[in-house]
Structure 1
Amino acid sequence: MPPVLSPRNPQQKIIKRVIALEGDLIRTRGYKNRYVKIPDGHFWIEGDHHGHSLDSNSFGPISMGLVHARASHIIWPPHRWQKITPHLPPDRAPLLSLREDPAEDQDE
């Protein structure tokens, strides 16, 4: 989950799940196009609460240049302290991946 600068407000950082990388074909959730092939130098992010999240379904593929960092742990609130493990909901996997080995991206 990378913190990225919001494409709509560069003063704001947002943390979302990476759903697809450049070259992937995905089915969107409410974006203007039902299917999107992620262009070179971009990726697709989504929040965990569909319909209540400002994410790629609102503004499209995100430039990799907007990545600020990578979230590794939840530290607040204290009762949620934990390491973030990579997880892609099964219904959000890319329909087609043109990358060499898409499985290796799950471990990053």
Structure 2
Amino acid sequence: MAQTGFGRRYFKAFVSGFFVAVPVTVTVLDRLAYVARVEGASMQPSLNPDGESSPDVVLLNRWSVRNYHVQRGDIVSVLSPKNPQQKIIKRVIGIEGDFIKTLGYKNRYVRVPDGHLWIEGDHHGHSFDSNAFGPVSLGLVHGRASHIIWPPSRWQRIEPSVPPDRRPLLNWDRAAEDKYDDD
């Protein structure tokens, strides 16, 4: 008889814990952060420097992009503009208002429109990025890679950086502000 009471209490505790844990976990994954395995060579050497033999796993911070505050150099996860079923991870090269010198896009120079980003892989010869499909809407961004969490030998925070040869030529919005500030 005592055994039955113990079993019921155990089951009741398990069920109540389950009904608390599931919504909390879903909320964390939906609003705060989640992990993703990075596949492919497009972000080498920053991510996956050893190739497919040891893929990096990154923490994607959803909270930091909730208001579309993305800066140059951030590595972001984006829904592919060509295949919405696929997520891609690339570096932000240009933000709205920037003039970008492209690498094989249909126009040699592009002004990034409002509400868009210019994203590129670090390994240009192996990347399907804005040079193929143009500027990407901020609405497609769903996370910023903040840390490499696997393999343990590569544990580190990911700092935003833009290679010197890929920096924007000019930010039109800021240039216009500077012009009016001088008056």
Q: Per the shorter chain, which TM-score range?
A: 0.7 to 0.9
Match of 1:67 in 2: 141
Change (3 A) 1:78 1:99: farther
CA deviation vs aligned residue, 1:9-66 (integer Å, no higher than 9, x gap): 1111111100001111010011111100001110100001012101101100000010
Query: What displacement does 1:79 show?
Result: 2.3
Mind listing any 5+ residue stretches in structure 1 that lack a counterpart?
102-108
Structure 1 residue 81, shift from structure 2 partner? 1.7
TM-score, normalised on structure 2?
A: 0.53
Paired amino acid for 1:26: I
CA distance in 1 between counterparts of 2:154 and 2:105 reads 31
Letter in 1 for 2:116: H
Shift of 1:77: 2.8
Superposed, which structure 2 residues align to 1:80-95 within 5 Å? 80-95=154-169
Tell me the CA shift for residue 100 of structure 1: 4.0
Q: Please say which structure displays the higher CA radius of gyration.
A: 2
Shift of 1:98: 2.5
What is the identity percentage for the equivalent residue pairs of Structure 1 and Structure 2?
72
Partners of 2:86 and 2:105 in 1: CA distance: 21
Tell me the C-alpha RMSD between the 2 structures: 1.4
Q: Which residue of 2 aligns with 1:97?
A: 171
Q: Name the structure with the higher helix share.
A: 2
Helix, strand or coil at the partner of 1:57: helix
Higher relative contact order (CA 8 A, sep 6+): 1
Return the TM-score normalized by structure 1.
0.87
Q: Which amino acid aligns with 1:50?
A: H
Q: What number of residue pairs does the alignment pair up?
A: 101
Residue 16 of structure 1 aligns to a residue whose secondary structure is strand
List structure 1 segments (4+ residues) > 4 angstroms apart after TM superposition.
none
Matches within 5 A, 1:1-108: 1-100=75-174
| Partner secondary structure for residue 69 of structure 1 | strand
The 10-residue stretch of structure 1 (7-16 or 72-81) with the greater mean CA deviation from structure 2:
72-81
